[in-house]
Amino acid sequence: MNATTANAILLVGHPNVGKSVLFHRLTGAYVNVSNYPGTTVEVTRASARFDPQAALLDTPGVLALPSRSDDERATMRALLNESSRCLVQVGDAKNLRRTLTLTALLAELGVPMVLALNMHDEATARGVTVDIPALAEQLAIPVLATVATGGEGIGELTGSVARAGVADRMLRYDPAREADIEALAAAITEHAPHPRLAARGLAILFLGNDSEVEGWLREHAGDAYGQLDNLRKNAVDRAPGDLPGLLARERTEAADALAATVTRRAVNSSPLLSQRIGQAVVHPLWGIPILLAVLYAVYQFVGVFGATTLVGLLEEDLFEGILNPGFTGLVQGWFGEGLLSELLVGDYGLWTMGMTYALALILPIVTTFFIAFGVLEDSGYLPRLSVIANRLFAAIGLNGRAVLPMVLGLGCVTMATLTTRILHSPRERLITVFLLALAIPCSAQLGVVLGMLGGVSFSAVLIWTLAMVGVLLLAGFLAAKLIPGRRIPLVTELPPMRLPIAGNVVKKTAGRLKWYLIEVIPLFLIGTFLMFALDKVGILPAIIEAGEPLVSGWLGLPKEASAAFVMGFLRRDFGATGLFAMADALDPIQAIVGMITITLFIPCFASLLMMVKERGMKTAVAMVAIIVPFAFFIGGLFNLALRALW
């Protein structure tokens, strides 16, 4: 990449206004884009197509500045630390008031900017018209209408970046607040001038208790920081209420006034079909049947079509029928019957086990899952689940917002662990990371479970589902009781429902599959090699023997299933696939118990590393120490209960 950060263009805006889609349009780089807030949790950068010398930075959505949440802090750090030449504020054309509330603060930073009013088509459909030339004149910056998903207005936007200008101030605060801002700005100019950001903007953020700005000033003002802090304390004492709140309210009023002068609304326009559907899916009566219908459709597509039909075609017909016999013959022809042949095509062969598991068993399942997930994401259905699930999540000390990482976890627990940053309190994040690690199967594992238990009976799938939900609720309930802190009630935006765009779903699926192939195939090959090595030096048979009391005695599984649990330490789905491969040797109860135990097992190695990154080594080790014995304990209980009742 030729782009340098000294020539950066920052995309900034509220969550779910289309920054990441715009980023893709402007760079060609793929970001995991979804129709719900909080998709981008870290800054992503790539060269701009229209100027290869410029780096374009996609920042996490900010509900408001000064920053309060992790994603807002990440954006604030980008504003403070990146050598940006301009900001592109991406706003929601149908809610200009909210967009301008953020503009009122960004304008104070003194950085050249452009305002892209995105989702212009949705605004028009709702009868909202913005007088763009008038707004551009008022703000003294280029303002454009864009539809990032359809590519409209992108050419004009790239052209306008060269004309970016410093926006006119949108307001003068109350005289007393202005005096405080000016005094603080003068002190910042003297003691900690920022190379790009205006001292006045930093003063407003500092008065608003922005922790990132506070940290930056503390670092750069040295001994004079105390003087800045005293000025803030004096301002807080003089304010007739909560100072950050007062400043925010004045910005909202200014945005309200400007929005009113440049926006026209059609009177009494009837709700759009998308709005009616959006309301139906969270309706107290219709919401649950719609959810069940969605789950059934996903089960049919992933569990039946993906895990049965496609796996049958690939595994039985292509791999077992054609590729594996051919490859085995070729290898044995070249290398004879020795160790190398066994390494490649033996019981724990890199091809016959590693590649066959990854390509024939898992790939069709994750492909169908990623397509189904992409359709749900693009439609805007997922955030509405938070409304339906809120009461359930309240029982485990969380609110419905946690449904997003949980559902994302059904795609990939590693990514979902990262997105727990969208939750507002450390307590919520800790509980959610624990539950993700314990009871949320990733797409690959889910597909294997559906494929294996779907082949047993629908009742088997139902028992496994009830077991997972039961464990999730029980563990969540206990975690909520043990972890100090209080539950935060849910307040969330519900993005509009949209007809999924095939191109977006294909791009997302392709991006995820690329990630899957890059991450999973090497791990499957390493895992297979470890199994081969353990087998050859006699450790695997010893583990199988040593694990017999636990695996056969307590869980009621064949002793060979120990090998699957050894594999599960590398990836849960690798372990689950190991059980899937021995499905013919298992009775229905063994299949259910095996899948319950392996699902509750520790997640893959990658998600373990993410747990360490997000929650620290001590917490991650503690979670693993709880999860592994708990998985075997619950599996054994189900073995006893099912054998007593079945």
Q: Enumerate binding residues for another protein (CB under 8 A).
A: 63-64, 68, 92, 94-95, 97-98, 101, 123, 126, 128, 242, 244-245, 248-249, 252-253, 256, 278-279, 282-284, 287, 386-388, 390-391, 399-400, 424, 488-494, 496
Q: Which is nearer to another protein, 63 or 628 (CB)?
A: 63
Residue 85: CB minimum distance to another protein, A: 27
Q: Which is nearer to another protein, 123 or 323 (CB)?
A: 123
Residue 157: CB minimum distance to another protein, A: 22
Residue 262: CB minimum distance to another protein, A: 14
Residues forming beta bridges with residue 143, ordered by sequence position: 115
Residues 209, 214, 217, 221, CA torsion sign = positive
DSSP letters spanning 138-203: HHTS-EEE-BTTTTBTHHHHHHHHTT-BPPPP-----HHHHHHHHHHHHHHHHH---SSS-HHHHH
Q: Which is nearer to another protein, 110 or 380 (CB)?
A: 380
Q: Which is nearer to another protein, 60 or 568 (CB)?
A: 60
Residue 465: CB minimum distance to another protein, A: 22
Residue 126: CB minimum distance to another protein, A: 6
402, 488 contact by CB (below 8 A): no
Residue 401: CB minimum distance to another protein, A: 10
Residue 91: CB minimum distance to another protein, A: 12
- Beta-carbon contacts of 41 under 8 Å, excluding residues fewer than 6 positions away, are 60, 70, 71, 74, 418, 419, 421, 422
Interior/surface letters 126-147, b for 16+ CB within 10 angstroms, e for the rest: bebebebeebbebbebbbbbbb
Q: Which is nearer to another protein, 283 or 536 (CB)?
A: 283
Residue 4: CB minimum distance to another protein, A: 33
Instruction: Report the phi/psi class of residue 210: left, alpha or beta, with left for phi > 0 and alpha for psi in -120 to 50.
Output: beta
Q: Which is nearer to another protein, 278 or 451 (CB)?
A: 278
Residue 97: CB minimum distance to another protein, A: 5
Residue 272: CB minimum distance to another protein, A: 11
Q: Which two tokens stand for residue 311?
A: 């796996």
> β-strand 51-58 against 4-13: which pairing, if any?
parallel
Q: Which is nearer to another protein, 190 or 493 (CB)?
A: 493
Which segments within 354-473 are labelled E, that is strand?
A: none
CA-nearest of 58, 28, 39, 12 to 419 is 39
Residue 33: CB minimum distance to another protein, A: 20
Q: Which is nearer to another protein, 276 or 481 (CB)?
A: 276
DSSP letters spanning 87-103: EEEEEETT-HHHHHHHH
- Beta-carbon contacts of 539 under 8 Å, excluding residues fewer than 6 positions away, are none
Q: Which is nearer to another protein, 278 or 405 (CB)?
A: 278
Could you check whether the bond before residue 66 is cis, i.e. omega within 30 degrees of 0?
yes
Residue 84: CB minimum distance to another protein, A: 23
> β-strand 113-118 against 84-92: which pairing, if any?
parallel
Q: Which is nearer to another protein, 284 or 333 (CB)?
A: 284
AA letter at 284: P
Residues forming beta bridges with residue 9, ordered by sequence position: 56, 86
52, 2 contact by CB (below 8 A): yes
CA-nearest of 415, 323, 314, 414 to 358 is 314
Q: Which is nearer to another protein, 244 or 409 (CB)?
A: 244
307, 451 contact by CB (below 8 A): yes
Task: Name the residue with tokens 């309301």.
Answer: 279
CA-nearest of 498, 16, 89 to 273 is 498
